[in-house]
A = this chain, B = another copy of it.
Amino acid sequence: MNHIALIGRLTRDPELRYTPNGVAVSNFDLAVDRPVPNQQGERETDFIRIIAWNKLAENVANYVKKGRLVGVEGRLQIRSYETQDGQKRRVAEVVASQVQFLDRGRDDSAAAGNG
């Protein structure tokens, strides 16, 4: 089991690319707020990287922009890679299975998913 549910705002427009074999993939960052315990009204923000594949990647790129509020479901993935000078790094990202659009007029609550 590896399931994460987030609600937050995009910090930038999603970036849509295609793999060499034509699979759509898009990335964006989500600003997710939370209250600071015992500090009334204060909030802190986590900036969480999201990755979407296939039709969901295209829907996100077409319908969501910087500043929009979305709900995201997916799984947390830790990817390892090496920098050019040979250091090992790890990047955490949420692989989205569902993205739900939450503000803006009658589009409210529209949703997109894979599979």
Contact = CB atoms under 8 A, between A and B. Distances in A.
Interface of A: 1-9, 32-35, 46-48, 69, 71, 73, 75-78, 90, 92, 94, 98, 100, 102-103, 108-109, 111, 113, 115
A86 B5 CA distance: 33
Those 6 A-B pairs whose CB atoms lie nearest each other, nearest first: A92-B92, A5-B5, A1-B7, A4-B4, A1-B71, A46-B78
Contacts of A77: 46
Contact of A1 (B100, B108, B115): B100
Contact of A5 (B1, B35, B102, B115): B1
Contacts of A7: 1-2, 7, 71, 100, 102, 109
